[in-house]
Amino acid sequence: MIPVARPSIGQEELTEVGKVFETGWLGMGALTKQFEDEIKKYIGVKNVIAVNTGTSALHIALDALALRNRDEVIVPSLTFVASVQAIVACGAIPVFCDVYSDTLNMDIEDVKRKITKKTKAIMPVHYSGLPCKMDELIEIAKNNKIRLVEDAAHAFGSLYKGKKIGSFGDITCFSFDPIKIVTCGEGGAVVTSDDTLAQMITKKRILGIDKDTWSRYKHERSWFYGVDTLGFRYHLSNINAAIGLVQLKKINEFIRRKKGIVRKYDEGLKEIPNVELIYHDYENTAPFNYIVKVKKKREELMEYLKKNGIDSGIHYIPNHLQPFFQKYTVKLPVTEELFEQILTLPLYYDLSDSEVDKIINCIKSFYK
């Protein structure tokens, strides 16, 4: 079976994990700091706080903004449930917005319509690695005195007008889970230019422990620490950082190959009846997954692919249709139509050209 996604890991990552085992220091340590420093250099930003998952990154970033009960955060419904769970976990209200049919990114005009006096943040989701219209969102946030918390789980390495995602925004959250552009096994990071916010998030990721207090007393009372805020056990371990450090060295090659696969898909699928391509920016996007819109017989196509050894998926079930979020539900016509059409095809670094050809030919055969 050709899977929808798969990490590209091997002996090099295993060797570095083995070195961590040899030191006996498995938790957060020097490699965590090194991983943060490498991300700083790659993106070109001064504050990076590595955490254990992308979901943790979103939650801790929102929590550090001190959202209160009934505060609102605008978020597209067409995103992984983690985006919305992070909002609800802070006691805030997710306000669902619609998306553009051609990019699956948040609809700016709908965002404007959804802003109220209770709106404290907007959460753009860079779907499949394609950046949202950040200039417009930054202007909206500035004019309304609200924060931008980018869900860039799909977009590590993507560019917007020549600048890396995370290098110019307010707060950006990345994911390094097993199927992202680069993986730590599990991991994430919060990137921000706000020094005060970065200090707060740094404390919150390890149970609110005041690192300055800890350092101040380390020579006289090594056991001493201070806690002055709510915190979580969200820090990234040396084990995960070791994997991430190896993966970061490969990111340019990962992106190059995945761009090539996207181009090959687009060329092979563009003339197939009932299959519609979404917009791809080949130059600036670090592709996360590959989505098409299937106008007829999507479920039958999925079954046909499966019988021919090809997995497929749907990313995602709109959150406003989920039982847990029913009290926040609204009508989102574009999102609801897309949910009936979108199909995710395999995309990962080790996917071969012959496998891509097989997938394309299988879809052609189905519609013949």
Which of 180, 203, 204, 258 is labelled catalytic? 180
Task: Determine how β-strand 48-51 pairs with β-strand 188-192.
Answer: antiparallel
> Cα dihedral sign for 183, 20, 234, 169?
negative
The rounded distance, in Å, linking the Cα atoms of 190 and 232 is 14
Structure tokens at 286: 């670090």
- In terms of Cβ atoms closer than 10 Å to its own Cβ (0-12, 13-18, 19+), residue 213 is middle
**155: part of which helix (H) or strand (E)?**
none
Nearest to 104 by CA among 360, 343, 358: 343
Nearest to 35 by CA among 234, 199, 166, 188: 188
120 a catalytic residue: no
Q: Is 230 helix (H, G, I), strand (E, B) or coil?
A: coil
Nearest to 319 by CA among 302, 295, 339, 337: 339
The rounded distance, in Å, linking the Cα atoms of 336 and 288 is 22
Structure tokens at 305: 């692919």
**How far does the chain reach from its first CA to its final CA, in angstroms?**
23
- In terms of Cβ atoms closer than 10 Å to its own Cβ (0-12, 13-18, 19+), residue 310 is buried
Q: What is the DSSP letter of 99?
A: B
User: Known catalytic residues?
Assistant: 180
